[in-house]
Structure 1
Amino acid sequence: MKIDVLTLFPAMFTGPLTESIIKRAVDKGLVEISLHNIRDYAVDRHRTADDTPYGGGAGMVMKVEPLTACLEAVLEANPRGRVILTTPRGKQFNQGMAEELAREEGLVIICGRYEGVDERVRELFGADEISLGDFVLTGGEIAAMAVTDAVTRLIPGVLGSAESAAADSFSDGLLEYPHYTRPPEFRGLSVPEVLLSGNHREIDRWRRCQSLERTLRERPDLLATARLTDADRRCLRELGEDDGQ
């Protein structure tokens, strides 16, 4: 996959894109990530990329001319790239969206800034608007990093095991079960016996029930859309009875 990121602050990406799993994915040739400074496409000597909004009001708006010039240059090299704009007004990003984007041939991510981007950019290029959640960041760079990370780890071959991604929280609509490793006992706290039993059927059953319990406790809203089996529903009923519900 080819991912192009359009930003006013490319230096912000130095750490997140040059460490850990993303770095290994780039080194293995599984993903190509390119940063593009929108200011490089400004036509004045001050490299101006923002201006005051028509109609008045506080803040600045990212200008249409340099952003369009940058975007057209990027799309010429990545013509199949799906254009995404990070903005607080966008659709909330989730695991399902990450899986959808991971199937694309390329992504072109525009990092929103200030009061936003001139609306004509979205209209001209049909950009999909994405938000990390109901809060406001200083700029869209952090959101672009999050989208890039979430998508990259789903590309085949990036993680050591395909099961790693499949078992993650939200992959099946539930929060992930708790994990343990050595030692088997620490400061009076022991690893659940079932995990030491070697009985993989019982281990799978325990993990699934733990996922259901954690989701019921922390994010009950997820259960409305989670893919549940009859056994899952029985487990939830039992959990509800234990809580006196």
Structure 2
Amino acid sequence: MTIKVLIADDHDAVRFGLSTILGNADGIEVVGEAGDGAAAVRLARAFRPDVTLMDIRMPGVDGITATRELVEEGLSQVIVLTTFDLQEYVEGALRAGAAGFLIKSVPAPRLIEAVKLVAAGEGVLSPQVTRKLINAFAAATPERPPPPPPDGLATLTDREREVFACLGEGLTNAQIGTRLYIGETTVKTHVSRVLAKLGLHSRVQAAILARENGLTAADLREGP
């Protein structure tokens, strides 16, 4: 199955580079390019891409707003493109439902791999970048105490709670399956149910929620 990709960035050179890399990759088709968030939403509604690569800072409608619209309307999975000095924007994008993010200088093989992973329902959780950011803004401070446990937590089964804990560790479906001795197909089913019960749009949001609440595998097995 061909993965349809939409690229949203206000720099022509960046769009060209991304389009060239992905357009030459097996199983991937670039279906559109947008120079701002509003155009990205319009094109996503028209082409229903599997994955959208979304810049954050664009004129008019920014990438965070556009990501939220795409995710809430179920139009596309989103990978945010960013740089190290935009941590506050990354936080907003992940909370908006992005499946993850990449640094714009990402090597071509990693970019292709990330697109395929997200299209398959995984999150792009780079150990070098994403986990640091999750830890940074999930940590409670006097100005921002930890939020109360999510309402849907009580509805999770014991297995779903274990999967939720694994998401909080940033594990892939394969890693979760190994940890819990279950198949990847079963993991995908549990992940979908966890997201639905907790009212979340992405596994990255689930990871943030688990970290914010200080939930561990042991805590979850004990129940709410």
Higher relative contact order by CA 8 Å / sep ≥ 6: 1 or 2? 1
TM over 0.5: no
**Which structure: greater strand fraction?**
1
TM-score by length of 1: 0.29
TM-score by length of 2: 0.31
**Which structure: greater helix fraction?**
2
